[in-house]
Amino acid sequence: MNRRDALSLAAPALLATATRATEAHGEPFKHPPMEGPPLQIAMLLYPSFFTLDVINPQTFFKGLGNVNVFHVAKTREPVAGDLGIPFVAQHDFDSCPRDPDILFVPGGLKGTIPAMGDRATIDFLADRGSRAKYVTSVCTGSLLLGAAGLLKGYKATSYWMVRDLLPLFGAELVKQRVVIDRNRITGGGATAGLDFGLTLASVIRGADYAKMLQLAIEYDPHPAFDAGAPETAPGRIVDHLWEMRDGEIKAVREAATAAAKNLGKG
């Protein structure tokens, strides 16, 4: 039997194998086109921001392809997050592109308190957020969006200890890990930044592309304990954390109340 005859006999079997593979795995994944100008993604920095709130979403932002991800702060001087690691912004408030595709705000209880009262920061968010295609946040970053008047009439979420403050800014609180309301996408606290980033990736590039990014970073969480939310953590742990952070939470509430009053004056 010559090679041509052998291939002819094998062809049906190969076709059947390919058909079974397609049925098992679905249609082959097609990488979405990355045409046009790069997406402009502005990530706000401010003193004592929660470092994970920046690192986790940026992991997915960079994976989107054809993007320009940059940090923006009041000045281009180094800005230290809660871990003391300095970040250097590529843009200050004046040089930041006027029409970002994505405006992102991280949280952090300690840093959010003064940031809500910083006129320059709030004015910057109000301005860029009025034109951004997507206005987004993780953790208490949504309080800053609220203080800038960007969540009025929108559903949103925040860090669980202070998310009840969102209605002060005219937002509708939704107790979910990630909340999408039109072009507003907000995430819960800290580690929710990964779920937020994955969700946003699916909005921008499609579900299959987001799944590819998830697999690429092996995001397959299996926490050692089921205590990552107040609804599942032991009551004694929840109570202790409230006691530990009592002063800080009160300060956030005072800052949010003052920011809401200033928003009303505007």
d(CA 22, CA 28) in angstroms, rounded, equals 7
SS (H, E, C) 44-70: ECCCCCCHHHHHHHHHHHHHCCCEEEE
pLDDT score, position 35: 87
For the segment 160-171, the average pLDDT, to the nearest whole number, is: 98
- Is the model's pLDDT at 159 over the cut of 60? yes
**Residues taking part in catalysis:** 139
For the segment 115-129, the average pLDDT, to the nearest whole number, is: 98
d(CA 106, CA 119) in angstroms, rounded, equals 17
- Give which of 122, 145, 147 is closest to 256, Cα–Cα: 147
**Confidence category of residue 18, pLDDT binned at 50, 70, 90:** very low
Helical axes 109-116 vs 246-265, angle rounded to 10°: 30
- Is the model's pLDDT at 11 over the cut of 90? no
- pLDDT tens digits for 244-253? 999 999 999 9
pLDDT score, position 38: 97
Mean pLDDT of the chain: 92
**Confidence category of residue 34, pLDDT binned at 50, 70, 90:** confident
pLDDT score, position 4: 53
**Confidence category of residue 180, pLDDT binned at 50, 70, 90:** very high
CATH entry, 39-219+233-265, from 1.10.287.890, 3.40.50.720, 3.40.50.880, 3.40.718.10: 3.40.50.880
- pLDDT tens digits for 184-221? 999 999 999 999 999 999 999 999 999 999 999 999 99
pLDDT score, position 21: 47
pTM of the predicted structure, to 2 decimals:
0.90
**Confidence category of residue 183, pLDDT binned at 50, 70, 90:** very high
